[in-house]
Amino acid sequence: ATVPAIRLNNGVEIPQLGFGVYQVPPDRTVEAVRTALEVGYRHIDTAEMYGNEKEVGQAVRESGIDRSEVFVTSKLNNGFHRRGDALKAFDQTLDDLGFDYLDLFLIHWPLPTIDVDYVETWKAMEEIYAGGKCRAVGVSNFNPHHLRRLFGETEVRPAVNQIEVHPYLTNDEVRAFDAEHEIVTEAWSPIAQGKVLDDPAIVAIAEKLDRTPAQVVLRWHVQRGDVVFPKSVTRARVEENFALFDFELDEGQMATVTGLDRGERTGPDPDTFDYVP
Ligand code: NAD
């Protein structure tokens, strides 16, 4: 079974399942991405902050797979929110990847408490999009109040909002707001970095379906319509996380997983996070 494509608000299609490379050390990234591409992944999620864009680019370029068949996302780092810095950072990202275009570029964090307004940063993203070397632009870790300001003061609607979502943080208010405004939600840390996999309710569903807990949780995301990109450097897990399209959770199982929500973040809160390297 193949990975479905989701159509973004500008018509560009993104594979619903990808491979994330946060915390993959640069010296293991070429091998990890090569493995993911061999397994069948055609969507890689990286960021300038992860320090492995060069290796992601190298693995994609050396794979022999046509560039147009691999969807690559990167993100603007927190130190580059001023217009000029953002434009330069995008060029640097392209250069490091060794690509002549990027599929999706995101503002990594809104940083509402620093002295650069993310509206200025989004206007730079609009310029990057207009420049034609990026097929879509979006945001990450934006809450509805951040997005409303963009809607009021800028032209281009973000194509995606990449936010933390997993069974312990279903984040349904932000997801609903995204959906209302034709913004695709991407769920980061989809298995809460492994924390949800021992949950008895998830283990029970996995046993019933003869699947693993990770597959149950990732399938739950897929059925909710979000884009996911689990991370692993272990080939067996990379394969396991890709095998999501030959089984289903029924309505009751979906509701059970959604009911595990307890508002628990594994990462920072977008309203207060202000780390600039
Ligand atoms: P994740 O939820 O994908 O969990 C990854 C960890 O879970 C692995 O390190 C491994 O220990 C374990 N794991 C993976 N597959 C498993 C399996 N089948 N069985 C058992 N354990 C397994 O966490 P993540 O890496 O934080 O999130 C995924 C991706 O989301 C990142 O790589 C990155 O691309 C993106 N992300 C974005 C942001 C952001 O601010 N935009 C923040 C965090 C992550």
**Statement: residue 94 has pLDDT above 90:** yes
Domain range list for the chain: 5-258
Mean pLDDT of 216-230: 98
SS3 of residue 145 by DSSP: helix
Q: How far is CA 74 from CA 68, 218, 236, 252, in A?
A: 16, 22, 26, 36
How remote is the CA of residue 231 from the centroid of ligand 1, in Å?
4
**How remote is the CA of residue 111 from the centroid of ligand 1, in Å?**
22
Q: What does pLDDT average to over the chain?
A: 98
Q: Just give the CATH number of 5-258.
A: 3.20.20.100
Q: Whose CA is nearest to atom 6 of ligand 1?
A: 193
Interval 227-259: pLDDT, tens: 999 999 999 999 999 999 999 999 999 999 999
> Is residue 1 predicted with pLDDT exceeding 90?
no
Distance 195 CA to ligand 1 centre (A): 10
Residue 197 is classified by DSSP as: T
Q: Is 168 a catalytic residue?
A: no
Express each pLDDT in 40-84 by its tens digit. 999 999 999 999 999 999 999 999 999 999 999 999 999 999 999
pLDDT, position 113: 85
pTM above 0.95, yes or no: yes
**pLDDT digits 0-9 by tens, 139-186:** 999 999 999 999 999 999 999 999 999 999 999 999 999 999 999 999
Taking residue 133's Cβ as centre, other Cβ atoms within 10 Å add up to: 15
| Cα gap 248→259, rounded to integer Å | 18
- Residue-level pLDDT at 277: 87
Residue nearest to atom 22 of ligand 1 (CA): 194
* Number of C-beta neighbours around residue 29 at 10 A: 24
Q: Is the ipTM of this complex over 0.95?
A: yes
Query: What local confidence, expressed as pLDDT, does residue 210 receive?
Result: 98
